[in-house]
Amino acid sequence: MSTQEYRHIVRIVGNDIRGEKKMVIGLTQIKGLGYNFATAILDTLKINPNSNIGNLTDENVQAIEKLITDPIAGNFPAWFLNRRKDIETGANLHLLTSDIPFTLRNDIERERITASWRGYRHLSGLKVRGQRTRTSGRKGGAVGVAKGGMAAPVKKGGAGAPAAAAAPAAAAAPAAAAETPAAAPAEKKE
């Protein structure tokens, strides 16, 4: 252990990381850093990935922050970054923390405004990357075949017979009611 005292909370790129976490796991708590990226940072700086974050010196924390914020200066390849060939600048970037959802929202909004096919899919809430939608990706209510015809089968005999006999009588009643008002004025005129 170094001459520096153990710290219970280490602040790296605006994130508080508990000191008892291992180096790799602690760095992956920063949004935008995955396991492979954290391992590459620790390998570049020659830091033991199995030691605790609380054992880092101030110089190590500053070196980690410098590599995280500018990985191209640390000779990381472009394919290792999470935003290559940015639409607005054309540069290779590595986004961190709140920049990730902000940039994602801007990208989706740009696609909607330009009325691209991906924009239409985002607008409708459908899958964007060419996946099947016949069976998966269903949101909202149930999708299926509507039932047609009778809801329940009619029983032969006692239960179905009175309802069937009452139906023609009910149909005849409105026809008789319609004839009476027309006949009544004709009788008054005579």
Q: Mind listing the pLDDT tens digit for each residue in 166-188?
A: 555 555 555 555 555 555 555 55
Q: Would you say residue 190 has pLDDT above 80?
A: no
Predicted confidence at residue 13, as pLDDT, reads 87
Query: Of how many residues is the chain composed?
Result: 190
CA–CA separation, 74 and 184 (whole Å): 102
Candidate CATH numbers 1.10.8.50, 3.40.50.1820, 1.10.10.10, 3.40.50.800; the one for domain 9-80: 1.10.8.50
Residue with tokens 């032969």: 156
Among the listed residues 15, 21, 7, the one whose alpha carbon sits nearest the alpha carbon of residue 56: 7
What values do phi and psi take at 173, rounded to 5?
A: -60, -45
Interval 72-91 mean pLDDT: 87
The full set of domain ranges for the chain reads: 9-80
pLDDT for position 15: 86
The whole-number average pLDDT for the span 89-111 is 89
**Mind listing the pLDDT tens digit for each residue in 9-65?**
889 988 888 988 999 999 999 998 999 999 999 999 999 988 999 888 899 999 999
- What token pair was written down for 117? 């096919």
pLDDT at 42: 92
| Structure token digits, residue 42 | 């620790």
Q: Look at residue 174 in the predicted model and tell me its pLDDT.
A: 56
pLDDT of 121-160, one tens digit each?
888 888 888 888 888 877 765 656 666 666 666 677 655 5
Residues 6+ apart with CB under 8 A from 76: 40
pLDDT of residue 1: 45
pTM of the shown model:
0.61
